[in-house]
Amino acid sequence: MVNNIIYLDNGATTKVYDEVVEVMNECFTKNYGNPGSENELGEEALKLVNESRKNIALELGCKSEEIYFTSGATESNNLALFGVVEANKNKKRNKIIISKIEHSSVYESALELRKIGYEVKEIGVFRSGLLYMEELEREIDDETLLVSIVQGNNEIGVLQDIVKIGKMCKKKGVIFHVDSAQSFGKVKIKVKDFGIDILSASAHKIHGPKGIGLIFIRNGVKVEPIIYGGNQERGIRSGTENVPGIVGFAKAFDIINKIDKEKIRDLRDYFIGELEKIGGKINGDKEKRLYNNVNVCFVGANADELVLRLSLRGIMCSARSACLSKGGGENRVLKAIGLNNKEAIGSLRFVLSEFNTKKEIDYVIHEIKNLLLN
């Protein structure tokens, strides 16, 4: 493995903050009790879990009791769809609305619901990656149970107008779920102000640990659990609480809310400009996107080959979402925004963090240019 790594695959996962490792180590070595135990160590662990829940809830503008910890956004997304359907079986509403660019954990869940008789409507997007809002508004009707929309797309980073969608759903009395795995901690989210009923998030996208996530469920929204057991997380998600993960998640969330996001945005914009100079075409809207996402197409190139060759030079990026890479084949998101096969094959994803520098970006541009010429 190369010694000097330039890590630009932060959409897949992130380097854990040192401060996060530190607080997690305290849980592993000192505060290692089970929150369900009534002894002193158990009580201390429960206190840490509740403090973490409270701090996250405060930032999201909701009540602590509306936050439930899970293993990650994939579990949260599954809980959002299957849990809502199970809890509302007696209602006449049997329509689920998603977009064509949802993360696999929402998209595949919706397809499973279609198999058991639910109508699943997939809303298309413009070349920019932004939703056909008029179509969405038209489709939200009295038959609709749930609308599930990704806020920041994991491939192209495009940000949807969640506030506007929230108003549409509220008007029709429809449950609104937001997958914020990529946007959580990167854009300001106030669940009540935005009209969000359910929200999913994950720690490892914001320099927290893997294996821990959350789901916000607004009080009054009915959701049945999909994991049963010891009645932890107030019965919504059974299983011994991942105390180190929860504490690490809260710490990472606290840190990322305070970083200089404009500095990263400026570096991203510089990167985009340099990529365009060497023939790159940016996929998705340049303005309404996550401040650290760059998805670029080099027509005629093979992105998979470029990823491997860049990796040998110490540059870590991707040709598609990590959740799609194992399956290979067609990129559903790039197809949805209108890219042809040649354009999709030539598309790369770079996702920056606060640890990246202009010097690194200049080196990346230099290496991409050399690879495209050879």
pLDDT, tens digit (0-9, with 9 covering 90-100), for 203-248:
999 999 999 999 999 999 999 999 999 999 999 999 999 999 999 9
Of 156, 174, 153, the closest CA to residue 165 belongs to: 174
CA distances from 176 to 136, 166, 172, 217, 360 (A): 13, 7, 11, 10, 40
pLDDT of residue 373: 86
Which whole number is the average pLDDT over 116-122?
Answer: 96
pLDDT of residue 1: 55
Count CB neighbours of 167 within 10 A.
14
Minimum mean pLDDT range among 16-25, 329-338, 356-365: 329-338
Can you state the percent helix, strand and coil of the chain, rounding each to 5? 40, 15, 40
Which whole number is the average pLDDT over 99-123?
Answer: 97
Q: How do 175-179 and 144-150 pair as beta strands? A: parallel
pLDDT, tens digit (0-9, with 9 covering 90-100), for 274-312:
999 999 999 999 999 999 999 999 999 999 999 999 999
CA dist 282 and 99 (Å) reads: 21
Start-end ranges of CATH 3.40.640.10 in the chain?
Answer: 18-256
Cβ neighbours for 252, distance < 8 A, ≥ 6 positions apart: 16, 17, 20, 185, 203, 206, 207, 208, 209
CA dist 212 and 186 (Å) reads: 18
* pTM metric for this prediction: 0.96
HSE-CB for 217 with a 13 A CA cutoff: 25
Cβ neighbours for 292, distance < 8 A, ≥ 6 positions apart: 10, 157, 186, 264, 265, 268, 351, 352, 353
pLDDT at 2 over 80: no
With tokens 């413009």, the residue in question is 126
For residue 349, which phi and psi values (nearest 5 degrees)?
-120, 125
pLDDT of residue 374: 78
Instruction: State the pLDDT confidence band at 99, using cuts at 50, 70 and 90.
Output: very high
**Which residues partner with 67 through β-bridges?**
216
* Catalytic sites, residue numbers: 323
Of 168, 164, 193, 196, the closest CA to residue 180 belongs to: 196
Q: Say which CATH topology domain 6-16+260-373 has.
A: Aspartate Aminotransferase, domain 1 (3.90.1150)
What CATH number belongs to 18-256? 3.40.640.10
Of 188, 233, 184, the closest CA to residue 67 belongs to: 233
Contact 276, 282 (CB under 8 A): yes
328: amino acid identity, one letter: G
Instruction: State the pLDDT confidence band at 92, using cuts at 50, 70 and 90.
Output: confident
pLDDT of residue 325: 46
Give the DSSP H/E element, type plus range, for residue 121. strand 119-123
Instruction: State the pLDDT confidence band at 91, using cuts at 50, 70 and 90.
Output: confident
Burial class (CB in 10 A: 0-12, 13-18, 19+), 62: buried
Which whole number is the average pLDDT over 244-255?
Answer: 98
- CA-angle at 81, arms to 86 and 160, nearest 5°: 150
